[in-house]
Structures are given as structure tokens and as C-alpha cells.
Structure 1
Amino acid sequence: MSTDATDVTDAPDAVPLGGPRFQTEPALLYRQMRREHGAVAPVLLDGDVPAWLVLGYRELHQVTGDPVLFSRDSDLWNQWDDIPDDWPLLPMIGRRQPSILYTVGERHRERAAMISNALEAVDPHVLRGHAERFADELVDRLCAKGEADLVGDYAMLLPVRVLARLYGFSDEQGPALVTALNDMIDGRERAIAGQTHLATSMAGLLADRKAAPADDVASRMLADDSGFTEEEVAQDLMVMMAAGHQPTADWIGNSLRLMLTDDRFAASLFGGRNSVAEAMNEVLWEDTPTQNVAGRWASRDTRLGGRHIRAGDLVLLGLQGANSDPQVRTDGSALTGGNNAHFSFGHGEHRCPFPAQEVAEVIARTGIEVVLDRLPDIDLAVPAGSLTRRPSPWLRGLTELPVRFTPTTALGGTSA
């Protein structure tokens, strides 16, 4: 194991943060990186841009717990002079972005409080009602067919519909927002159109709610007295929707995959609700939807995990690497008893707000339970080993989850 590189830009053994191994065997890759590089590994982003990836649980706790030393201020980055205008990761690692992601200090705390307060006021019964209704509508569309792709036909369609309703959009606006969000995730030629539709829709929603407030998240954020502009509120709502949709969809898909392929969860396919929560918790430890996060920037020279980190170095949060750190997982007990000490929602001042975590959990659990209730004899339609993941080092989810089941009628009693 080598930890003597003094400059991430000169590390001769930096690992490219991409490639098929992130799709096929990320757990083995993280173990190999930890064995060869230690708790903090030098990596290369697209275009051979250097960064550090934190794989150690304690080291990640240190980084996320010190927002002054490891800042969210992207202006600190010492690589900006070498970043081209068409760098593919600019939407993720942007400069002077106006959203909460890159706000620091007291203003960040005020902004996080505004978001948390707006989400905390969501009635949990109303939330679950929306999630059940949209989940049932999606199952109604496929239940008569006897087969479905639970990723493309279900998981990727559910979270944004619920979030849009909570934020204040009408049900009629929901399908177009689903398309826009999934186009943005696709990252190809449709991404710009998707982003434009989301921004235009959000601006329209805020204009409507400014004129006529209602009992929704957008209205509560506009009513906050911290002095944030409509543009800032719009940016935060877009971040909340994007950050809430894809990981929650992958949480649903990864949990259903586990329950359909692991004998330990077979009973839950016949009505065992407790096993749903256990499967969801295990996914957050072992197969977390958000694998790695960019980023933090060192505000001064420091030491971390035996590495010399220079001022301005980019530090990536290896959430899955830290979750599987053998120093904190010596006996596998992390998966039992509802242990939530994983990093899947982050940690520290910039973690996912607790109310947002609760919203995601209700949507995911409801989505899983509706599938198991409505399609009780569901089974995987392909060998488990043939299931594929997106080749992304950032978000881990299935490209599809083909299943078969006995055809049934929609809830209204007619063929779907």
C-alpha cells in the first residue's frame, strides 16, 4: 500500500474513476483500491483530472464533519485553469452555482433550515397516500401483461410524481416532469431540453404560488423569512427534485432485486412487511444508490489518511467505500438491528436533510410494498447474473429489472 504521494497531480498510480468495473464489481474494486492505496486514493476523473477519493469510514467522517477545512466552495479548486468549457462533469462540479449545494457557512445553514422546515411540514399520511396512489396507477398499467421491467416501467416513474405533487405541481404536470428528469439523467441530447422544461416549470410554479400560496413545499419555501430570492428557491427545488428522484428510484430497484434474488427475503414476497425494511437497510449498506459524491475542496494544506492534501485539491466522498470499510465492518453487524450509521445520506452539515431522508424512505417503501401486494407471485424473468447496472461511478442502479407474474386486473376491475 502506497501513501507517500505528496501531490495528487503527480500520483503515478491514480485510478481512473470510470470503466466497466464500476458496473460489474464495484465492491471488489473498492477493496482493491483500499488495499493498494489506503483510506484515501488518488483518482482521475474524465479528461485525467486529478482528485482524491476517500474510502475510509473514519476519514470520511472527518471530511464531512469539518466543513471549514473541507469546504463545499468550488471556487477553491486548484484545477479550474485546466477544465475545458465542455467538461462532461461541469453539471455536477460547477463553479458559482446558485443552489444550496455550493452555499457555505451561515447562509448554507439558513438555506438548509428553510428546506428542512418546508419538508418537515409534509403530513406523513398525505405523503403515503400520494405514493400509494401513483404506485397503484403504475401497476395498473402493467398488471394485465404478466411481465414488466420494474426499473423502466415503475421505479423510474414513481419518485418524481410524488415529489412533484408535494412541491405543488398538479397531477397533469407530473408525466412531463418525469420525462424531463429522466432525460436529464440520461445525459445525452435530451438532457438540455429536460433541464429547460424543469426550470421553466419551476419558475411557473413559484409565480403561481407567489400569487396564491397553498399547502405545499414551494409555498412554504417562498414564505420563509430568511431573504432568499425566487431564483434561489427555484434552484433548490430543482436540486431537491433531481437529488430525490434518481437515488430513490435506484433504492426501489436495488431493494426489489435483492428481495427477488436472495433467499433470506423470500418470505417478504408473500406479505412479510418487516423484511422490506431489512432489505432497504441492507441496500443502503451494501449497494447504496449514491456511491460517490463530488465534492469537497481543501481550504488549506492538510493530512488525511496518510496523504498530503494540498489547498484546493478536490476530495470525493466514497460513500460505498466507507460503508464497506473492514475496520468498521469486522463482524457484519452493521446490517442488523436497523443500524443506520451508513453514509448513504451523507453526514455533517451538508448531509441530505433528515426530512428529505424520511420522504425518500416513505416513497421507496411504499413503492416496494405496492408491487408485492399487487403482484404476489412476482419472480425474476432472467437469471440473476444477467442483470446489468449503469456504468457510473456516481449512482448505482439497474438498467432494467425484468419480472414475470400472473396477469391481474387493474384496481378498477378492468384490464390495464
Structure 2
Amino acid sequence: MTDTQRTAGSPPPGYPDHHDAVPLYGPRYQTRPVELYREMRLEHGPVVPVMLEGDIPAWLVIGYRQLHQVLSDPKLFSRDCRRWNVWDRVPPDWPLMAFIAYQPSVLFTDGAEHERHASAIRGALSEIDQFELRFQCERIADGLIDAFVGSGEADLMTQFAQPLPVLVAAWMFGLPEEEAPDLAHDVVEAMNGSVEAYGRFAATMMRLLQTKRENPGPDIPSRMLAHPSNLTDEELTHDLIITLTAGQDAMANWIGNTLRLMLTDDRFALTLAGGRRSVGQALNEVLWEDTPGQNSLGRWATRDTELGGRYIRAGDGLVLGLAGANSDPAIRPDPHAGPGGNHAHMAFAHGEHRCPHPAPELAEVMAQAAVEVLMDRLPDVILEGRPEDLVWRPSMQMRGLMALPVSFTPAHVAGR
């Protein structure tokens, strides 16, 4: 067995191809997961037998064509996790339970019921003015930078990239500005696994719904309440939580990974001093090479089928290998050539469960504004330490840094 192969316990009956399954956890995901995906592809092909934490068997789809097939066929590959055929092996305190436990939300529905949820979200997002969004992003980015610009040093993850998306979301949700910092804290802590923080976050969303029902405004909850889909309060609460959290971690890591690229790659580092490469190019390259959403749980087969040469049973769980598909040589025969202007990556997924329009466009406005404001405010910013010493989060789902320490010339903030 190679070091990509499984060393833990045996799979349940019916998983004959999982005797050499790859553990989808461990320290290798903190360094260069792209190398691990390459090894998987060479050894197992486009559909890889894997073990999730706790030795829960699943299939990781890293072939671009096969992933496209899964995402395009919700009748065969459902989003309803209740179909999973190994629930009897999943403990109540399973670390991934928060990402997979069924809820009456946009995330776990298919077909007409999914469209009922998704149409309300699309309708609410489509009314956001992108020029106003850009202005608010710049204002919030300036405020975050004001808090540390006088010190000459900062951790751009905890002090900038992580709080910015949720503070912008608080504005889009019509939350009073004085409550935004507490929401930002609770969302970040909830994403790190805090049950208490998640409880406070959910309570804030329920309270916000009640407020907007009585006093609607130009915000996402009010628009979803008024939408003809007539979602229940329980459904609305879950969909608001998903709408906010789905963007939070991905946005924070998209900003952080882009800043890392521009601080460590000579092609982009020139931009910090007014060079040639654009922020837009860096953002697109990150979506191909270091996409924030590496893998996503999941899809469940509705009947026995074949995928990528593998026999998939009804109820089998599939992990969407978004990063693995992005590096598939079938679509990128020369990985060293760079993506250029190619936007056919899987960072926003595909099919009915892809990021709803216009979420990708709004996300790009936010990320570009954040990076450009930071570059303008800190023109001589440099990375503290060696690039190879940066520590990546130990997550098979997200690709993001634990910290991004930098230094720069301290600056005075007017009024301070």
C-alpha cells in the first residue's frame, strides 16, 4: 500500500472496492492536497474509494467529467442525505455531522422543492445593487484596516479576511450596525465548531426574521419573507443561516488565499508595487489552484449505477471533489500554463445546487474590493516569515490559512 491508502478498520459489507480506501483526513491536507489528488487519480481513477473521519466509507469524485455528470443529474444523485446507507455507522457526535445532518432547507432538497427555496434566495440576492455593495465592502475594509494600520503588523486572516464577509453580510441582512461585530464573532466561532456560538447565531437569525416581518426593509430577510414561495419560519431560518455561512468561510479563504498568492508569487507580488498582474487574475487563479471549497458533502445515489468505472450502490455517499476536478488533466493537460481567463472551474459547483445567481458575481465584487483596498492602504505590505512556514487549516472541505502574518509601514488614521 502507498501512503495514500487506508490503514484503518474495514468497511461495511457491500464495499468491496474500499479495501484500499484513501483517508480523507490527516496532515497531508495541510500542505499540498493537489499532490494527493494526483496520486489518487493515478492509483484509483476519477472516482476514488475514501474513508471520512471515523472510517465512514464514501466515494470521492475528482474527474471533471464525472463530477459534471453527478452535479447535472439530481434524480440519480440526490442531495437528500437521509438516503445514506451507512447511517448506522455514524455516531451522533461525528465531527462532520453539522455539515450533513438533514434540515428542511435549500441544501437538502431536490427538484421542485429545491427550486421553491432557491428561487427565494435568488430573488433576494438579485436586488442587491452591486455598486452599493462595492461601496459597503470598501467602507468595511477601510474600517478593519484602520484598527491595525498604526501597528505596522497584522494577521490578515483573523483581522481582515475572516471578519469582512460576515460584516458585509450583516449589512445585506439589514442587521443594525452595532450588532454586526457580535454576529461576526459568533459566525466565525460557529464555523470553527462552537455549538454555543451556533446557537446564538441561529437565535439572531430568528429574531431578525421577526423584526423584518414587522418592519421590512431593503434587505435579504425582508425580500425572502415577501417572496411567493411562502417559506415557513423554520425554512427561512435555515436558509438564512446557509446563505450567510455558505459565503462566509469560502469568501474569507478566497480573500486570504488571494492575498497569500500576491504576497508570495513574483508574478503577482509585482502588483503590490503597481506591476502588471491584476487582482482579477489572482482571484481567478486561486479558484483553480487553491479553491476555498476543496471537497463538499455530498450526494447520495438513488439507485445502483456506474460512475467512472466504479459500481455505486443505492444510498452510497459521494463527496464532490471540486479541487480535484479543477486539476483533472482531461481539461488542463498543462497545469503549469495557468488558467488565464478560463472560468470553467468547479469552485461554484454546477447544476441546480450550484451557488445561486447572482451569488458568484456578488462574491467577486466583495473579494476584489477587499484585496484592492488592502493593497491601496498598505502598498509596502510583506509576508512575515517564509511562505513554506504558513500553516493550512486541517480540513478536507476548506482550503484556507490558519494565519497570514504581514508587516508594513505604520500609518496614522485621521481622528485617532
TM-score (norm 2): 0.95
Q: Does the residue aligned with 1:41 lie in a helix, a strand or coil? A: strand
> After the TM superposition, which residues 117-156 of structure 1 pair with which residues of structure 2 at under 5 Å, given as runs?
117-156=123-162
Letter in 1 for 2:186: A
> After the TM superposition, which residues 89-100 of structure 1 pair with which residues of structure 2 at under 5 Å, given as runs?
89-95=96-102, 97-100=103-106
Alignment-derived partner of residue 267 in structure 1? 270
Deviates more, 1:272-281 or 1:15-24: 272-281
Letter in 2 for 1:117: G
Q: Is the 8 A contact 2:17 2:49 kept in 1?
A: no
Name which of 290, 301, 305 aligns with 1:302: 305
Q: Is the 8 A contact 2:327 2:335 kept in 1?
A: no
CA distance in 2, matches of 1:273, 1:286: 20
Q: 1:79 to 1:364 in 2, by over 3 A?
A: same
Superposed CA deviations along residues 198-239 of structure 1, whole A, max 9, x for unmatched, are: 111111111111111111111000000112112211110100
Alignment-derived partner of residue 88 in structure 1? 95
Alignment-derived partner of residue 102 in structure 1? 108
Q: Is the 8 A contact 2:292 2:400 kept in 1?
A: yes
Matched, 1:111 2:117: yes
Matched, 1:376 2:379: yes
Q: Is the 8 A contact 2:71 2:351 kept in 1?
A: yes
Alignment-derived partner of residue 385 in structure 1? 388
Letter in 1 for 2:289: E
Paired positions, count:
406
Q: 1:209 to 1:356 in 2, by over 3 A?
A: same
> After the TM superposition, which residues 45-56 of structure 1 pair with which residues of structure 2 at under 5 Å, given as runs?
45-56=52-63
CA distance in 1, matches of 2:104, 2:398: 23
Alignment-derived partner of residue 66 in structure 2? 59
Name which of 354, 357, 374 aligns with 1:354: 357
CA distance in 1, matches of 2:251, 2:276: 19
Deviates more, 1:122-131 or 1:306-315: 122-131
Q: Does the residue aligned with 2:154 lie in a helix, a strand or coil? A: strand
Q: Is the 8 A contact 1:298 1:309 kept in 2?
A: yes
Q: Is the 8 A contact 1:72 1:296 kept in 2?
A: yes
Alignment-derived partner of residue 321 in structure 1? 324
CA distance in 2, matches of 1:127, 1:376: 24
Matched, 1:228 2:231: yes
Q: 1:334 to 1:213 in 2, by over 3 A?
A: farther
Matched, 1:339 2:355: no
CA distance in 2, matches of 1:271, 1:219: 42
Name which of 377, 400, 404 aligns with 2:403: 400
Matched, 1:282 2:282: no
CA distance in 1, matches of 2:380, 2:60: 42
Superposed CA deviations along residues 236-293 of structure 1, whole A, max 9, x for unmatched, are: 0100111111110000000000001111112321345861000000000000000000
What is the aligned-residue RMSD (CA, Å)?
Answer: 1.7
Q: Is the 8 A contact 1:281 1:335 kept in 2?
A: no
* Superposition deviation, residue 331 in structure 1: 2.9
Superposed CA deviations along residues 31-51 of structure 1, whole A, max 9, x for unmatched, are: 001111110000001111100
Superposed CA deviations along residues 85-107 of structure 1, whole A, max 9, x for unmatched, are: 22221111113x11110011101
Matched, 1:215 2:218: yes
Q: 1:106 to 1:167 in 2, by over 3 A?
A: same
Q: Is the 8 A contact 1:271 1:373 kept in 2?
A: no
CA distance in 2, matches of 1:173, 1:358: 27
Name which of 172, 178, 190 aligns with 1:184: 190
Matched, 1:12 2:12: no
